[in-house]
Chain A
């Protein structure tokens, strides 16, 4: 009979460990749910947290149990009247031709997955396309330490045994030649003398000359001298990489509603997370624009809102300026990613800037238009879209892109992807959060697949 308080119960972590085991078992389910997970708003709003929660269905433990027969079911309790629907379950997609999921009590739970793991399974064989070795000014990436040169002085712990032994043998051979020259004896006697003199040349010569050698054949041993010792020296290891810079441009004007901004951000969030993980040498430049473009830091880019009018060309102008000043094309692989809702007050000017940019021979330009299945009425009767159409608006920026480039179309999952490999322009339309993942995949394909 006692009450004991265990405040500092050292958590055994058993639950977490076994949860990990379960997670491995349902890895497939996690992979299937990745699409929902990456479009989950909580990932972006929770700063710095490296853990994502994914809803999954737990595995079942199989036993002999009664099934639900015809007319069967269960007992329940409550104010329901005969014929009332007390609960509803969405039917599962048919798997292996079997009907599943009509058993009540299948509950969903959330499992915790590391963002790194998600990135790994999402972008398993993806990378930046069209990456090139730039001739000028490559970047040195430290890769840890390596043993490089061999010196006569150094710390004893870094002694190079093989080199030292080689040196000692070489020197012994020279000594033997010296002895033969000096005394005219046989090679065997010379070796024996050197050995009995414990490696000392002068004593050996003296021994042989005075004929005081003990009659023992030489063992072939070698004596070391300080001069023989060789040491390894460590040096910083570097790898030479091509430079790459990614310009992440986003429209943050008033027409970008909360939902659109959220999609844009979640897409760029995963892009940057992925790039940071995969390439150590990629520099990411964040640019937001309304009626003027601004280079901002990551924090500002993802977590702050803006509003105002829309001049898309400003962003491209800014990038062009940066390419000229900071990231010259002969040094850098240049990738520009632009996300907007397609609304632009001056699309012709924008296309001019795009032209300028492409003429600079950049590696890739990706344009993503967010086109939610929303009605125009969402903007109100005098919303921006109506205003735009009143001043001769010709549809979204996408139309201009389509006119300008010779796109090949692929339709997939209810949306369209465009690709112009000659000019290295990619474009796609995102309609809902399910499209974020395919759009990312569209953008990041390996060079091999082009």
Chain B
């Protein structure tokens, strides 16, 4: 990059900063921009971070990105931004000046989102330091124990790292304490209850309790809770494995801890992808419009910007483009609240003509956008603001698979907009991370996991491989209670000879009642 261009870019940065704080009323953490060569940029994108441990996955992604870059991607406005204090962002050296401005504006969008959205409040801002330390330690492990051994643990850790939430920080003992108190309170409450409709006369409840009885009860409760592991079903699979695996050594536990921490760091990012990209897109469009209005960028630059912006918001026939869909939804919110098109009055209005000309000149659009941006995540964002009209406007559809002799065709289905809307919203449930819980650590010489089925089945191939990964970490049988094609199934992964194998066991339970049936002890044939 030429020195002149850099000076100009610094000037633009100042203008953007002023615009973002004053006009858009946003706050953000400081940002550091690095201008890097192409290949370095691809590397950072493949590793998703400038500091990352070594693994074949990143190498694969690097190669894939490089292929795309060399075949079709030249001139794409690549962008990487890492949440932290300061936030770090990277600009690709070979880009043109207007593309640099676009990327910078886009990064401002992301950083304001990181700073203001409530789901990011719990995130640590020093994650790059954690990873850079981890990278060093892991290299040492590779030297001491061999690349293959480290990779085995890392692969297993990667496979389940998203199953933990940054909002769940209770330890097992704390949980035990809490549940103990809850149960005790419940008990005493039941006894003292004066309300007739409480089940005071249930048959297994003793009629009268003496003080001694209460103590015995409490003791028994305590022992029961002590024997239970985990004390209540937990989603934090990695935490449970680290605490309970009998075969993991300290260095292996260290690797898993780091990966769990990474999963928790990525938790809000995964859950706000569409909002995040949509928000960044409308921010960069607003900023770029301002830069053109003020004459900082010339009309000649407009073509370059339009080209890259169109590439960002391109339609994708097989996937939803988060940049396009997210930004359309934010624009829609802004317009509706500017014109007062919300509330009971608007919804009850039946006249189409009246609706078309509805404009109360409230101009609350931007405030609403800020409110939404601060408090929502994808699932709820789509539930609340993804309207049926948008389906037609964006030409959205669903596709299904149709197999012929030699090919698998993706065919557009014939659903009406309401069904499409439902399907799309449902696909955001749990942000595409199936809810899987550790339920029983002493289940038939193994561990029982339960998949809380929400309408979509698990992919069998992926599930098997993931269960094998879990087996490698515990070396005990791994049971998974799930529903396949409307039938309850218990999958088990166990060691047979030298090979870890999957077996689908008998029908265990009725639909919708996952845990209870699974408790009936039964030996594996």
Contact = CB atoms under 8 A, between A and B. Distances in A.
Interface in B77-110: 86, 91, 93
B320 A76 contact: yes
B317 A80 contact: yes
A14 B159 contact: no
A14 B43 contact: yes
A155 interface: no
A76 B400 CA distance: 10
A81 interface: yes
Given A5-B35, A109-B64, A64 B436 contact: yes
Nearest to A56: B63
A142 interface: no
Interface stretch (A98-106, A201-209, A328-336, A435-443): A98-106
Interface string B1-22: 1000010011001000100000
A58 interface: yes
A303 to B, nearest CB: 24
A151 to B, nearest CB: 46
Q: Which of B59, B64, B407, B451 has the most CB of A within 10 A?
A: B59
A77 B42 contact: no
Interface string B124-151: 0000000000000000000000010001
Nearest to A103: B459
A78 B64 contact: no
Contact of A22 (B9, B63, B396, B485): B63
B60 A91 contact: no
Contacts of A102: 401, 403, 408
Which of A2, A15, A22 has the most chain B CB atoms closer than 10 A to its own CB? A15
B36 interface: yes
B56 A88 contact: no
Nearest to A104: B318
Interface stretch (A67-75, A363-371, A410-418): A67-75
Interface residues of B, number: 93
A434 interface: no
A1 interface: yes
A209 to B, nearest CB: 70
Contact of A86 (B17, B317, B424): B317
Given A11-B39, A74-B318, A88-B408, A66 B457 contact: yes
Q: Which 10 interchain pairs have the tightest Cβ spacing? A: A18-B59, A67-B459, A62-B465, A19-B59, A15-B62, A82-B414, A22-B56, A73-B400, A21-B56, A15-B43
Interface of B: 1, 6, 9-10, 13, 17, 30-37, 39-40, 42-43, 46-47, 54-64, 66-68, 86, 91, 93, 147, 151, 155, 158-160, 162-163, 315-321, 324-325, 394-401, 403, 406-414, 420, 423-424, 427, 432-434, 436, 451, 456-463, 465-466, 469, 485
Given A77-B395, A79-B395, 14 more contacts: A1-B13, A14-B43, A15-B59, A21-B59, A59-B60, A61-B159, A64-B466, A87-B409, A89-B407, A89-B408, A89-B409, A101-B408, A110-B67, A111-B63
28 contacts: A1-B32, A3-B34, A4-B35, A19-B62, A20-B59, A21-B151, A22-B56, A22-B60, A62-B465, A64-B163, A64-B433, A65-B458, A66-B432, A75-B399, A75-B420, A76-B318, A77-B317, A77-B325, A77-B394, A78-B315, A85-B410, A86-B399, A86-B410, A89-B408, A90-B406, A103-B459, A107-B64, A109-B63
